[in-house]
Amino acid sequence: MDKSMDPTTSASSSEVSSAALTMFRLSSWLKSPRPYLMLIGFAAVLAFWFFSVEVWKLPRFVDMPGPTEVFTEWFSKEPYYGLSVYTPEYYKHIGISLRRIAFAFFLATALGVPLGLFLGWSKTFREFIFPLFELLRPIPVLAWVPLAIIMFAGSETPVIFLTFLASFFATTLNTMLGVESIDESYSRAARCLGANRWQTFKHVVVPGAMPYIFTGLQISIGVAWFSLVAGEMVSGQYGLGYLINTSYMMIEYPKIIIGMITLGIVGYTTSAMVRILGDYLMQWRVRELALGDN
């Protein structure tokens, strides 16, 4: 049997190629100035925070906790305010927020991607649905809070609904723009080769829209965190938004900063996971970018 026809060999070669491409991109990134500029940016912000609060003691920062106090509390085995990396409550806040994000993001993706594809693909469908979509999209998440509490029982479902809303609109709009960005000549070529409407949609429209879809998903996961914090501040128990709000009410300012930094780290990680998944599903796109950076 020809080894080139062996599916196991083909799959193995694909995995090796993917791994080699990932390592090449990582090596190129480390050799570039980008990681060092990133570190300088973080250092500059921390230095400004430290000097503004603890050295210069600027009037605007008089009640703000400094980095020494925040990091001492964050990594203390016996935290003064009862929250640190050593307390189970800290991880409970993170876990509950992640669970809410997972539910909302999954629903937004499952509904937003197909809707965006059909909005971009069918002019009739777009003329029927898009005006309503554009009417609802500018409404802020906080404006939905009273209705969410009325429509959904309990404290968990309203938060998930509010988180879902912003994520859904971002996913749908970017997916639709992705379909509209595809050159019409590709669809004509597919039809000339005998492809029917469904085959053109499956093999031309969906792959062509993928870069926009995953760009939209990265935006979507970010706005989902914005919406989650807003939702947790007005409803629900536990979660990072709930932590930040209750810490403000209890005048426990170091916990506010701990919650905000944790939110940034977890949000950045989830966005990176979406980006990695997109790179995995669009190896052709990754190769283009790798060659472009070389």
Per domain, the residue ranges of the chain are 76-284
Of 174, 167, 155, 270, nearest in space to 220 by CA = 167
pLDDT at 143 over 50: yes
What tens digit of pLDDT does each residue of 46-68 get?
Answer: 999 999 999 998 988 888 999 99
Residue 267: is its pLDDT beyond 90? yes
Instruction: Identify the CATH homologous superfamily for domain 76-284.
Output: MetI-like (1.10.3720.10)
CB contact set of 64 (below 8 Å; sequence gap of 6+): 53, 253
Q: What is the mean pLDDT of residues 204-209?
A: 87
Residue 212: pLDDT above 60?
A: yes
Segment 213-236, tens digit of pLDDT: 998 999 999 999 988 988 888 766
Report DSSP state, residue 112. H
Average model confidence (pLDDT) across the chain: 86
Asked if residue 267 lies in contact with residue 211, where contact means CB atoms within 8 angstroms, the answer is no
